[in-house]
Chain A
Amino acid sequence: MMIIKNKILVEDDWQVLRLNDQETPENVVVAAGKVIVPLKVWLAQRDGLKQRDDLGVWFASDERSEELKEDVRKFQIIAVDFPKFSDGRGYSIAFNLRARLGFTGELRAIGDVLRDQLFYMQRVGFDAFAPRPDRDIHDALKGFEDFSEVYQTSFDKKLPLFRRAQRKGKSSVEVVNG
């Protein structure tokens, strides 16, 4: 499967484990190989899984980054699920994973991931994106180019515009109003 990583298309072989109705975090069997497991599965089966170095973990939108606190550095990949693109909790989960918990590995957006949200997603700390499979992934790349400048600090910009740029006060702005 192709995903976007650091703004380019790459082949990817991570599997995302999603539980079906019969499975519970406790009873689900995590397959061998590179699997991104639900946070609940990790928390339930931590003792059995902690030796594996080929696992990632994904957050549902109603989970909080703090729940992984002690383990965050174990993973080279963490994903955040967007059940609907309009559910914005994933942005704060990502920001907290990066800014609060210091996660430095791959942070991937999964689920209802669409072009028009990518600009914001990369700002809060996502560096990998698995766009919804029914959409043209090449088209999605354009989403990163929406804006060339931003006002506020987030994970991508450590300084807000007013600390990065020499901005003009009234005396030097061409007054066009009035």
Chain B
Amino acid sequence: MYCYDEYDQKIIDERVAQYRDQVCRRLANELTETEFLPLRLQNGLYMQVHGYMLRIAVPYGLISSRQMRMFAHIARKYDRGYGHFTTRQNIQFNWLKLEETPDILADLASVQMHAIQTSGNCIRNITSDEFAGVAQDEVVDPRPYAEILRQWSTFHPEFAYLPRKFKIAISGGREDRAAILAHDIGISATKNAQGEIGFRILVGGGLGRTPIVGSEICEFLPWQHLLTYVESILRIYNQFGRRDNKYKARIKILVKALGIDEFRRLVEEDWADLKDGPGTLTAEEVDRVASFFIDPEYEKLPDHNSKLNEFKADNRNFSNWMSRNVIAHRVPGYAIVVLSLKKPGNAPGDATDAQMDAIADLADRYSFGEMRITHKQNIVFADVKQSNLIDLWQEITRQELASPNIGLLTDMISCPGAEFCTLANARSIPLAKLIAERFENIDFQHDIGEITLNISGCMNACGQNHIGNIGVTGVEKKNHEEWYQVSIGGAEGNDCAMGKILGPSLTFYQVPEAIDRILQVYLRERIDEGERFIDTVHRIGHKPFKDYVYATDFEEESVKNDRDDMSVMPAQYAVPFYSPRF
């Protein structure tokens, strides 16, 4: 993975000093909270329900064991012993003290990490394919370009105070695993007929209140022009994006208002001045950055380990795990392993300090000391020898990271929700927990097969509800009840689509039952086990699902016993009951 040279390190160290001074000035009241707010946000520091939350960047999700151990250290020393991995491949700590945050940044800088631009109206962490470099369908390794974009966007002077946040994702496989159609800029690294590398550039995608699939602004941009072209897009957005209404301020609204053709014309007019200028990438720079992403020293190994098959035959859990959590690697004898952070009873994406330390140790032993955070809030070991799979599985089973549920119902995406986030209308994590408990039976999940279930506590859609096959969104809190909309038909990847709301809102305790009914319709209607949930939705449409979900009343009896008394919610919020430590 990429390692800092003295320039990178200097910039990060100077950032720590700058931020430390800003915090000092805030504590001395030389900066007002209004003035400090954008400064701390551009450093990933939010004021949340419990205090300060810090979001740390994991650039394009790639992280070393040493860095993972630093997260464990931060969780222990400054927080309450756990962290939350997010859908944008970052990590969040929820219980921090403002005056300690400069020290946290200094600790992070010692392992080449930072929290720069993880929030605020600026260019956010660049996200990418969690299988970059090892996927069988890869055309171009996106990681060097993701790193080049990271450096270019870091402290870009012109684009620090945009109308709204700005998210860029890049992928390089035939199948999109970075949700590039749902980003402000989505980049698909590809090759033309001559074998030259270039990018298909999409613009104006996004979720939130106004979910829109991105539009193609450039079909094939030769690699040299990546930075200048993106710069022009940002400059047009910075000047023309709406600033009068934060809900209309994202680039997707501008692209829709102008139309993609007019937007493209403006961008290309701006770009004409930059094209082939000094911002143009050089082969030397791309080669330099790419040198950090060359293959590790793979051994020459045979594929198909017969021992694996024997073990599989004797061990149902292992066999389930192999079928869901282990993915084919492009190098014979190796495998990609997904560690599941979706154990029933746990908040999706949460890991304790002990787990993080254990994961780091295992990465050293089994995967060249590196791992990736996924947008589904799991962790990937990208380079595991097939002959080590049994040992690794036994190890991670002990760490409770081997739930064989990747891509299945309980591999849910969930935002932190109302217990942590001041924006949320409703809780997400307890709902995820309730759903996970209800559908815990792994045979049932394997029978349902591939499905995505994404939960957000509000329409800002951090839990990517729109692109879940089933999406759940907290819409309001009313009469001591939380209300949610349920949608179906959303999808990520090449067939990215926004889900359609099924019907009237449902309460917290009705949502699992509604999901149950949706799944009953699927099981009844699917042609065979090969037809995925999303395929059935496409084939038969929403109506049969809607009709069945709302045909009969929701039973209140089944949920009465453990119903929360919403009137005492504040006390409960203070210490979330589901968190790994409490």
A contact set with B: CB distance below 8 Å? 64, 85-89, 91-93, 95, 99-100, 114, 116-117, 119-121, 123-124, 139, 146-154, 158-163, 165, 167-171, 173-178
B555 within 8 A of A: no
- In the complex, whether B100 has a CB less than 8 A from a CB of chain A is no
Interface segment among B288-296, B471-479, B480-488, B528-536: the answer is B288-296
Known: A148-B10, A169-B292. A89 touches B238 (CB 8 A): yes
User: Does B387 have its Cβ within 8 Å of any Cβ on chain A?
Assistant: no
Quick check: A154 and B157 within 8 Å, CB to CB? yes
- B287 at interface (Cβ–Cβ under 8 A)? yes
Chain B count of residues within 8 A CB distance of the other chain: 59
Looking at the assembled complex, report how far the CB atom of A49 sits from the nearest CB atom of chain B, in whole angstroms.
26
Assess the A178–B65 pair: CB atoms within 8 A.
yes
With A148-B10, A154-B157, A170-B3 given, name 7 new contacts (CB 8 A): A89-B239, A91-B160, A95-B235, A120-B160, A121-B157, A124-B158, A177-B67
B238 and A168 form a contact (CB under 8 A): no
Query: In the bound complex, do residue A160 and residue B161 qualify as a contact, i.e. CB atoms below 8 Å apart?
Result: no
Is there an interface contact between A178 and B364, defined as CB atoms closer than 8 Å? yes
| A177 near B157: Cβ-Cβ < 8 Å | no
Q: Inside 8 A of B163's CB, which chain A residues have their CB?
A: 88
Give, as a whole number of angstroms, the nearest-CB distance from A123 to chain B: 4
Chain B residues closer than 8 Å to A158, beta-carbon distance: 278
Contact B3 A177, beta carbon cutoff 8 Å: yes
* Docked-complex contact A167 and B152, CB < 8 angstroms: no
Instruction: For B65, list chain A residues within 8 Å (CB).
Output: 177-178
Given A147-B18, A150-B155, A168-B5, check contact A177 B279 (CB 8 Å): no
Interface presence of B311 (CB below 8 A): no
**With contacts A87-B243, A88-B159, A89-B238 known, is A160 near B66, CB below 8 A?**
no
Q: Are A162 and B239 in contact (CB under 8 A)?
A: no
Question: Are A148 and B14 CB-contacts (below 8 A) given A64-B239, A154-B158, A170-B292?
Answer: yes
Mind listing 15 A-B residue pairs with CB under 8 Å? A85-B161, A86-B161, A88-B160, A88-B161, A89-B243, A92-B238, A114-B35, A147-B11, A148-B10, A151-B152, A152-B153, A163-B278, A169-B288, A173-B5, A176-B66
For the complex, what is the distance from the CA of A152 to the CA of B123, rounded to whole Å?
14
Q: Is B4 an interface residue (CB 8 A)?
A: yes
CB interface residues, B 1-52, toward A, < 8 Å:
1, 3-5, 7, 10-11, 14-15, 18, 22, 30-31, 35, 38-39
User: Contacting B279 at CB < 8 Å: which of A88, A146, A153, A169?
Assistant: A153
A170 with B368: CB separation less than 8 A:
no
Inside 8 A of B152's CB, which chain A residues have their CB? 151-152, 160
Max chain A CB contacts within 10 Å: which of B39, B151, B239, B368?
Answer: B239
List of B residues within 8 angstroms of A177 by Cβ: 1, 3, 64-67, 111-112, 369-370
Inter-chain contacts of B239 with A (CB < 8 A): 64, 89, 92-93
For A139, list chain B residues within 8 Å (CB): 30
Does B162 belong to the interface (CB within 8 Å)? yes
CA distance A160 to B153 in the complex (A): 12
On whether the beta carbons of B155 and A147 are closer than 8 Å, the reply is: yes
> In chain A, what residue has the closest Cβ to B31?
A116
Question: What's the least CB distance linking B246 to chain A, in Å?
Answer: 11
Please indicate the chain A residues that have their CB under 8 angstroms from the CB of B67 in the complex.
Answer: 177
Contact of B157 among A85, A91, A173 (CB under 8 A): A91
* Cβ distance A148 to chain B, nearest Cβ, rounded Å: 7
